[in-house]
Amino acid sequence: MQIGMVGLGRMGGNMAERLRRAGHEVVGFDRDPELTDVGSLRELVARLRPPRHVWVMVPAGAPTQETIDRLGDLLSPGDLVVDGGNSHYVDDRRRAADLGAKGIGFVDVGVSGGVWGLENGYALMAGGEEEHVERLKPIFEALKPEGPDGFVHAGGVGAGHFAKMVHNGIEYGMMQAFAEGWELLEASKIVTDVGGTFRSWRHGTVIRSWLLDLLVRALEQDDDLSELRGYAEDSGEGRWTVQAAVEHAVPLPVITAALYARFASRQQDSPAMKVVAALRNQFGGHAVTAADGSFAKGADSPGADVTLPS
């Protein structure tokens, strides 16, 4: 099967290679001249035989919107656009309607697998009309892992990215649980082989998982993680998951807490904790630490002989 791939970065490039290994013809476009097969989206479309299939694998937001808008101008009725990036599901419905008005189909696909997908395959969650999803089945079969699992037609337009959004929200919670467990083991000093403890959990336990395997790998490379700073970005799906939970009145305490933990990781000095420290001093005379790191007893605490720093 012939398919165009727009975006040949870490994910898109590996997906294109996996498709080629499976015997599919891939025409790729990327802004990096060392990666691209063609010089423009127009040339990409010209190289494809109707009905054309173009898979977009660029960052969510404006880059995806601009790419799909341009493809909408270049493609013809009967062609099909796939958004395989981490787009917000609400955007899928609008894009499908815009393309549909021109007779162009749209399928949204949540993709999971990261840099390991080239060899292991990608988990794919598709949203769209049955006819459009069926047309892409040979592509899905080549990209997914071997065996019966790894692909789902989750529902109509938007369902693929909604499923991937929830998947990533669950991922937030799982990572946070592993992180907190690691911190407690390290802090206790009771367990002297923390890395070995995690390694022992990889087989026979109920928490064995690929994430656990990756954590063991990370600890083998840096046993106390001293080479890293405790700073974690969020790519959007965690926020969207929490927003969707509010809209549907579904309690998500674990996923929400994991998202907030990432926010906290990016603060050099917590403004909220400054308020807590100030209030504890005001009502209980509790000692505080000044901005310069010096220690001061509370003004109203027994034996206090210093005042709070101004």
CA distance 262 to 176: 9
SS3 for 25?
strand
Check if the beta carbon of residue 158 is closer than 8 Å to that of residue 93: yes
171 is catalytic: yes
CA distance 265 to 15: 32
Q: How many CB atoms lie within 10 A of CB 247?
A: 8
How buried is 188 (Cβ within 10 angstroms: 0-12 exposed, 13-18 middle, 19+ buried)?
exposed
Instruction: Give long-range contacts, CB 8 A cutoff, 24+ apart: 244-251.
Output: 244/162, 244/165, 244/166
Of 164, 180, 189, 227, which is the active-site residue? 164
187, two tokens: 């802090």
247 is catalytic: no
Of 17, 43, 129, 171, which is the active-site residue? 171
Residues belonging to the active site: 164, 171
